[in-house]
Structure 1
């Protein structure tokens, strides 16, 4: 197999809080005015990404991995995570506030849902004036104080609201209470999991007039009640991979491209590139490809070195 950069058909999700930025800013094929998520790369059951280009077009990601796990995922990734693609990549458009939520850790998710936990990160691609993200507690808290706030509809009063702008980065370890605020366009990198405990939804009702389901009891022992340092600072040296988040599940760097740069792909791990600004010409052993803002590409571990050329910003994600 002559490996090449893999593009995938986006999986569009309608959400009560979604809008039209996925179409207007990222050129996704949305069909409604409430399109909240574009799943770019997924092996969540029922939502497995399908290859959109080259000789593997029409094959889903699970089948591609199964054909040669080490060549796709990399030797280290297979040793650590087995043959399941371990990450999920999304773009999210919040026209309205998302619910306040929390994700369980690996142990709790395994016990309750036979799933991975959900460690994740956000990169803010665009934010309207006044946009805020909710991340973590203002002060160290505890279950009793939190439960009292829930009973009195005052959970928001315990939490930190971060005004945000383009380029802001947040690392959300499992247990961190969080919510994306209205006006944010986010690139999200996370473990392969769709387990979310919704703890407050601003008393909104769905189109049938019903309050959305909450998972108050499930969340109680999933929450980290301590303050967290979730907002990250980072360098932006041109034509270099500047690490923003490094954790056991993924390493994410920003690559500000001004001319040329190399992705020195090894046989240890795959690389995913998410273009968050501009246009890039991607050159590999067998050919070239143009990728633009809003596109996500998987570089299989067996691909070899890749040259990037253009004026752009990319998120570069590997497992280190």
Structure 2
């Protein structure tokens, strides 16, 4: 089972722009493409292999035929034949709606879905571009509801100015929004459940306001003010730097100026590489895949050794 690349699943969004094309080199004609889903088994949006003799095969088909070979035994014991994470690149030309995601328990009860814990790695940001992450003070449910009624929710939001390399971990329940001018890599649980609570009163192409999920969000929001979202991580070159290690995924940062070889025979998980800078050749015992900034490769769990050949690359390495 060789390193697998997949066709990106491109999503037009009201807030999307052209950075996926202009910065990441995606083949896109639209000027409002907001998301490139790199690895997905979300129903209706399942990734399809683009390289090698498995080209044209869906990720779900591969998992169904050899779940332990693709995912790893420990992963299948937890998630069965479901791919547990969703990988995206996101380009926000305009502010995204202010939103949050329910936890596993609530998402299962209401939507028969996983919750949505996620992380962001900033790849490009316009000057003074920012994110909304959490509240700027302790807020009660009553205060929050009143701010919606009075159209003053923005007064309660915490704004974080960002630049390339900044990384954020977004717990379930944390209110958040990606601001205009931000291009980022997103790693999240496999879930498309989002509660939108404020959309700047924008209208879609048909002149309609987008649906809000005001009532559903009330019991899903974490109203505490917590400074737990900005990820401080080492950036030592030519080694593996841990960024996030949570129950749903582990992400490492690699800034390589030379080749790197890893023995991963005891990993018992697939490995994903998202290229967030430069380019590299990534190989296992059965083949090699070339990736450059804006591309992603999946290394099946059967990989015993992973070799990365590069003269300069920044990679996010994701495992379970």
Q: TM-score, normalised by structure 1?
A: 0.97
CA distance in structure 1 between the aligned counterparts of 2:114 and 2:283, rounded to whole angstroms: 35
Q: Alpha-carbon deviation of 1:114?
A: 0.6
Q: Is the 2:4–2:289 contact (alpha carbons within 8 Å) kept by the matching residues of 1?
A: no
Whether 2:279 is the aligned partner of 1:279: answer yes
Q: Is the 2:2–2:288 contact (alpha carbons within 8 Å) kept by the matching residues of 1?
A: no
Aligned residues: CA RMSD = 1.0
Deviations 1:1-37 (A, max 9, x none): xx11000000000000001110111111222100000
Match of 1:139 in 2: 137
CA distance in structure 2 between the aligned counterparts of 1:264 and 1:151, rounded to whole angstroms: 56
Q: Alpha-carbon deviation of 1:39?
A: 0.2
Query: Any runs of at least 4 consecutive aligned residues in structure 1 with deviations exceeding 4 A, and if so which?
Result: none
> Which stretches in structure 2 are left out of the alignment for 5+ residues?
none
Whether 2:238 is the aligned partner of 1:235: answer no
Q: Is the 1:271–1:301 contact (alpha carbons within 8 Å) kept by the matching residues of 2?
A: yes
Match of 2:313 in 1: 312
Deviations 1:198-224 (A, max 9, x none): 000011111222211111001000100
Q: Alpha-carbon deviation of 1:260?
A: 1.4
Whether 2:155 is the aligned partner of 1:157: answer yes
> Which stretches in structure 1 are left out of the alignment for 5+ residues?
none
Match of 2:57 in 1: 59
Deviations 1:53-101 (A, max 9, x none): 1121111111101111111001111112211000000000000000000
Q: Is the 1:257–1:309 contact (alpha carbons within 8 Å) kept by the matching residues of 2?
A: no
SS at match of 2:21: helix
CA distance in structure 1 between the aligned counterparts of 2:174 and 2:52, rounded to whole angstroms: 40
Match of 2:19 in 1: 21
Structure 1 residues 76-225: aligned runs within 5 Å: 76-225=74-223
Larger mean CA deviation between 88-97 and 140-149 belongs to 140-149
CA distance in structure 1 between the aligned counterparts of 2:52 and 2:281, rounded to whole angstroms: 17
SS at match of 1:22: helix
Larger mean CA deviation between 258-267 and 154-163 belongs to 258-267
Aligned residues: 317
Q: TM-score, normalised by structure 2?
A: 0.97
